[in-house]
Structures are given as structure tokens and as C-alpha cells.
């Protein structure tokens, strides 16, 4: 697979001068075959190195642009014991048309984290599951800079409505979405 990745990137360089290089690396990175991934040979099933990295000139190192968005519709109460759930929304305006990396910051207070299903849903309907009733009786769900890139197609546009969707699927314990932020890195 790594040889195929390298062949595709080389073909892009020869056919289009590398115009799609960053988008290709982003797609491979989302499948753990990014910059730095390696395999000692085509038959190896061990000593394989996985990578979700893209070259520095594609993101964060001068070639990429990270835009930061914060939800303004919070705090929001999470309805108890219903699949209806609640959403916090971020509208991403027009800008770069590809997605190399997506990270989120989420702060939810809840007295029984194991009741919650927490997802980030892109404008195209693709979803990243942050928690699926995990955490048992622990309180709260708080994360900063969680990379959810692998859940989204790198060539799909980030423009549109992103939702943090939270469901409380058991009775008694209650909570609140306190904050939701989205960080999208694109090639330009």
C-alpha cells in the first residue's frame, strides 16, 4: 500500500506538477498511510509504521491554514433519557475548499458520562463519534485538540453547518454542553 501511495503521488507530480500533492497526502494520512508511514517490504505484516502526518509544507508548516471556530449557541441543556438529543452548531463560511485536519474542543458537564453519545457531524453528514456511552459513572466529557480527521473525507469542503450532537440515553443524570470549538486546517 505504501508503494501504491508513493506511485500515486509521483504520478501527480509528473502529470500536474504536484498540484494535488497535499490533498493526496491528507487522504492517505486519514487512512494512517501519511507522511512517514513505512513498511520494510511488500510482504511484511510486522514493523509497519503508521502515520497520520502530512508534509510540513501542506499543513502547519507554512503551506496550510488553520481556521478556528467557536459555537455561540451554548450553554445548552442536554435532554434526559431521549434519543432526540441536542445540537450545538458552528457555521463555517466560504474559504479553503479542502480539509487536511479537523480537531475539536468540547466541554460537557454531566453526572454520568456513560449515558452519553457524542458526535461531531460535518456539513456532508459524515460523523465522528467522540463517545458512545463510554466512561461509565465518570463525570463530564472534556477534550481539547482531539483530532477527528480520519472520520472525514479530505476532499470534501468544510463549508457549511457542523454540529456537536449529544444524546443522553438513560434516565436520572443530566448535563449541559458548555462549549464547542472546531479547528480546520486546509492546504491554502
pLDDT for 167: 97
Domains of the chain and any CATH numbers: 1-55 (no CATH), 65-186 (2.60.120.260)
Query: What is the grid cell recorded at 55?
Result: 508534509
CA dihedral of residues 130, 132, 133, 136 (deg, nearest 10): -60
Model pTM above 0.85: no
The confidence score (pLDDT) of residue 61 equals: 43
The helix-helix angle for 21-29 and 2-16 (nearest 10°) equals: 160
From first to last of its 188 residues, the chain has per-residue pLDDT tens of 888 888 998 898 888 877 788 888 878 877 778 777 777 776 666 667 777 777 766 754 444 678 889 999 999 999 999 999 999 999 998 876 777 789 999 999 999 999 999 999 999 999 999 999 998 888 999 999 898 988 887 667 788 999 999 999 999 999 999 999 999 887 65
CA angle (168, 127, 85) in 5-degree steps: 20
d(CA 106, CA 146): 9
Amino acid at each position: 500500500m505504501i508503494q501504491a501511495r508513493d506511485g500515486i503521488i509521483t504520478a501527480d507530480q509528473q502529470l500536474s506538477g504536484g498540484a494535488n500533492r497535499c490533498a493526496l497526502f491528507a487522504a492517505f494520512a486519514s487512512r494512517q498511510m501519511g507522511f512517514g508511514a513505512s513498511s520494510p517490504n511488500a510482504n511484511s505484516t510486522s514493523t509497519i509504521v503508521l502515520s497520520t502526518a502530512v508534509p510540513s509544507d501542506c499543513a502547519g508548516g507554512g503551506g496550510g491554514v488553520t481556521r478556528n471556530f467557536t459555537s455561540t449557541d451554548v450553554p445548552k441543556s442536554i435532554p434526559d433519557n431521549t434519543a432526540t438529543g441536542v445540537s450545538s452548531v458552528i457555521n463555517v463560511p466560504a474559504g479553503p475548499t479542502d480539509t487536511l485536519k479537523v480537531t475539536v474542543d468540547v466541554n460537557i458537564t454531566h453526572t454520568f458520562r456513560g449515558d452519553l453519545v457524542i458526535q461531531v457531524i460535518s456539513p456532508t453528514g459524515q460523523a465522528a463519534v467522540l463517545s458512545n456511552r463510554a466512561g461509565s459513572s465518570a463525570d463530564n466529557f472534556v477534550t481539547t485538540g482531539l483530532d477527528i480527521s480520519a472520520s472525514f473525507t479530505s476532499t470534501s469542503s468544510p463549508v457549511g453547518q457542523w454540529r456537536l450532537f449529544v444524546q443522553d440515553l438513560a434516565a436520572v443524570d443530566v448535563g449541559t454542553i458548555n462549549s464547542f470549538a472546531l479547528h480546520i486546517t486546509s492546504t491554502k
